[in-house]
Structures are given as structure tokens and as C-alpha cells.
Structure 1
Amino acid sequence: MGPAAGLNYPSRSNWPPGTSRSADLDALAVPSRPLLQAALNGDRDHPAAPRTPPDIAAQARNAVDAGARALHIHAFDTDGRQTLAAEPCAATLRAVRAVCPGIPISLSTSADVEPDPQKRFALVESWTDVPELVTANQGEPGIAELCELLVTKGIGIEAGLLSLDDAQRFVASATAGRCVRAMVEPLDADPDDAVAHAAAIEQVLFDAGVSLEQVHHGDHIASWAVNRRAIPRGHGIRTGLEDTPVLPDGRTAKGNGDLVAAAASMLNEYRSSTSLTSPPDQL
């Protein structure tokens, strides 16, 4: 199966020279405890995907108990639609913080939630309660202006890189130096394609000298393959119902806690078998 439909990036045969330079890419490995982030909902169609502040808070607590050290969430209005409106976002943040004190929360600003860049900007500008972080997808219209707004509001930026084009656009912009981390998020359905795509995005970051912390994930079953590649490289990983409804063996997960527990197990197994790759002296 090829790359997911609708993504605009070259085939592997046309990726930039050096995409497979594993020795160079080893320089991106960070000898520290990789982050495990839980993405709790998004628009995933799953009976356990939380939509209301109490349900999101309960799943957040489950994810943290299972090993998550950061959370990524989408807020929903009373009609069950994703929203960036100030009050639903504030209510969701308050509910999660009440049960997960000290855990950093990232809110989505995806164009899937609000496709109009000006409306999105105005909604984020109206936020009264702000998250610690926001994921800002770098391939979306109006993203530079949104990132400027996030900086003025004191919100950390996670740069969402869903494609090779996104990564190339990101490193050519002035945004990288203002971000907390880069989210490497290939959406390919085929696990092999997703892994190769993640490697290509990582190569672009390396070639541009971008040394931000990286967190890697994919979509559905391919997400686990992307996670597995990232772990020995010292990168963080993300999982949760937004990313995949299935466990590594293909069984449907009961909820976010199951998924985070599986990811935590992958991290622990790697830690117990080997140490993380150390970066070259020059880095």
C-alpha cells in the first residue's frame, strides 16, 4: 500500500540525497529519557474516545497512570464538535488540570478543527485559559501568524510536521527557533512507508541543523512502527486514540490507558536491553 491519499510529498525515490544516511541521523539521538505523550481524542471514531471535559479528564488520568508525561487533547463543544472556542477549551483545561496537576497539556489548532486561518487566529486570541503547549501544523495556511500569536501569549509551540513538504517549509521559516519540539507525524497507512517517511522528515531537520526535541508517531497500526523506530534514536513517542485505535498486535484498544501502557512497555523494554545512542562529540 502506498502513501496516504491527499498528502503532498515526493515518493521515496525522489526524496533528497542523504535520506538514508543513518550515521548522520544518529547525531539526532538524545541520551535522555524520551517523552511519552498521550493524544486522547481528536476525531477518532472509537467508543472510548472522550468528548466532554469530565470524560477527557478521566482518560487523561488513566493515561498518566499508565506512563504518559504529557497530554495532547482536542476540545469539543456541547454538540460534540471539535472547537477552538474559549469556553470549551478553558473548561477542558480546568478539568484535566484538576486531576493531572503538573502534567503539560497541548491543545490542537489543526485546520481540521477550524479551516479558516483568520477565524482560527481570532479564536486562539480569545483564549482566557491557555495550555502549556499548542501543536501548530506547519503546512497549514496562516501558521506563521498563529505561531507569532502563540509566542505573545506565552504558549509553547509543538511544530506539527505531517509531510516532507511540511518539514522543508518549517526549516526554511523563522519558526524553528521559537518552538519547544518538532512532532514527526507521517500519516502513511503502510507501516514501511510511514517509517521511511519519518526518516526523511528527520533527515530534513538534521540537514538544517534543527536540534529540537522530537516526538514521533503515525496513524493507526503504522503508528507503532514509527514509535519503534524512534525509541532507539532517543526520540519521544506519542500514542492514544487520536493516533491509533489498535494495540501493537492489532487488537482494538479499550481506551487510552491501554495504548499508553503498550507504549510505555516498548520504552521500558528498550531501556532494559540497551542504552540510548550517544550523539557525536561535535553535537
Structure 2
Amino acid sequence: MPNSGTLLQAALNGGREHPAAPHTPEELAVEAHAAVAAGAESLHLHPYDENDRQTLAAEPCAEALRAVRNACPEVPISLSTSAGIEPDPERRYELIAAWTELPDLVTANQGEKGIHDLCELLVERGIGIEAGLLSLDDAHAFVTSGVAPRCERVMVEPLDPDPDDAVALAESIERTVDDGGIQLEQVHHGDGIASWAVNRRAVARGHGIRTGLEDTTALPDGRPAKDNGELVAAAASLLD
């Protein structure tokens, strides 16, 4: 288990292909339990519908949340609100407004169209906001938007495939947030093998980190990961 006092979040699934990537509520519950046993203190997940597509619809979201909460009581759960799931901002707003079972948190990518209206809705519904910053433009927009006091944390999410480029972007995003006077908790992650370089830098800076099959299917040494639990265990060792 991590002992540094920084947050370790597991991102259980997304669009990445892997035999252990969970889609059904039952699969999510199994992977969530394994991730928490390995050291995860927060869970991020993407519900899927009956057609095996990512969805923001109320019932699949409720089923996923109930299954994971039963498996991992008292562990905070974050859902995605990505435009990659629902690109129409009005439709996305309507779907989230119709949720019957509420997550503890959601990621809200600050560079997406309609995100400010969505953040207002999330605040009204009492859902915590993880402000997703995927680019330097996102970071500047976030600083000037005034939404920071209503957020739980900042997610620094450089998606560059090259580890050096990803670390450089994480550094620039962090500096922009700091220069803007925003003192929210930060959780950093990258994409693919570059995610580990971003994680290592974040740990050295005292920030939280995220890993899981949404972010990477490879362990730090490049070997394929068996499942979310193995990825989280590797991330926990960085915190130790």
C-alpha cells in the first residue's frame, strides 16, 4: 500500500483494448476490488451499455456504480464526462442531468465545448469535479475560467506518446496552474509507456498519480500488464 500521503487513483477502463479491461458491472467490480487491494484509493471508470459502447446514460451508469460500490465500500468513484463518449454538449448535459445514481466525482476536461455549463450542473448536483487539463491551452482556460474554487482537484493529463515530451508538458501545465494561484490537489498521469515517466515526476513533486488500463497496458519495464491490479501495484511501489 502507498504510504506517502499522495493519492493513487486507478483508471479501470476506457477505449484501450486489453483482455482484462472491464466493461460490464460485474467485470468492473472485480477489477475495482483488485485495484483497491493493490493500493488504489480512488477509482475512475467508464460505464458501457448493452451494445458494449461507452455511455453516459443513467441506467448503465447506475448499474456500474452500484456494482463497484458493493465491491469497494467507501472508495470514491469518478466517472468520465469526456466528449469522446458524447460529443454533443447539449446531449451530454441532458444525460448527466438524468443520472439517478451519482458518482462521488467526475472528470471534466476543460478544453471541451460546453464544459462550463456542465460544471455548473455538476456543482448543483453535488458531484465533485476533477478538472482535466490535457494541454497547455486547457490549463490557461482553466486558470481564467474561475471554476477552480468549485473543483476537488486538477488532473494533469499530457497525452504525448514520447516520455520526454509528456513530462515537459506536465511541467508546463503544472507551472501554469501554480502561477495562476490555484492550490488544488493535483493528480498526474500520461498515456502508454509515457505514463510512467509522468508518474515518476509527479511523485517526486509530491503530487498524486493515476494508472490503470485506461492509461496504459504496459508496466514500467515495458512488459504487458496482466490487469489493473498489477498496474496499481507498480504505481504503489513508486509511492513507497
Deviation string for 1:82-123 (max 9, x for gaps)? 000000000000000001000000000000000000000000
| DSSP 3-state at the match of 1:60 | helix
1:229 matched to 2:219? The reply is no
1:193 to 165, 179, 194: 165
How far does the alpha carbon of each residue in 1:106-144 deviate from its partner, in whole angstroms, 9 at most, with x for none? 000000000000000000000000000000000000000
Q: CA deviation at 1:214?
A: 0.1
2:75 corresponds to 1:103: yes
- The aligned residue for residue 33 of structure 1 is 5
Matched position secondary structure for 1:44: coil
Unaligned runs of 5+ in 1: 1-31, 269-283
Equivalent residue, structure 1, for 2:56: 84
CA deviation profile, 1:135-174 (whole Å, cap 9, x unmatched): 0000000000000000000000000000000000000102
| SS at structure 2 position matched to 1:168 | helix
- Residue 122 of structure 2 is aligned to residue 150 of structure 1: yes
The residue number in structure 2 matching 1:70 is 42
Q: TM-score, normalised by structure 2?
A: 0.98
Identify the residue that residue 29 of structure 2 maps to in structure 1.
57
Q: Which structure 2 segments of 5+ residues have no match?
A: none
Determine what percentage of the aligned residue pairs are the same residue.
Answer: 69
Q: How many residues align?
A: 237
Equivalent residue in structure 2 for 1:178, among 147, 150, 159: 150
Q: Which amino acid aligns with 2:129?
A: I
Once residues 134 and 249 of structure 1 are traced to their aligned partners in structure 2, the CA distance between those partners, rounded to angstroms, is 31
C-alpha distance in 1 between matches for 2:198 and 2:165: 10
Paired position in structure 1 for 2:88: 116
Matching residue within 183, 188, 197 for 1:216: 188
CA–CA distance in structure 2, aligned partners of residues 123 and 234 of structure 1: 36
Q: Deviations over 1:51-87 (max 9, x none)?
A: 0000001000000000000000000001110000000
Aligned partners of 1:184 and 1:166: how far apart in 2?
A: 10
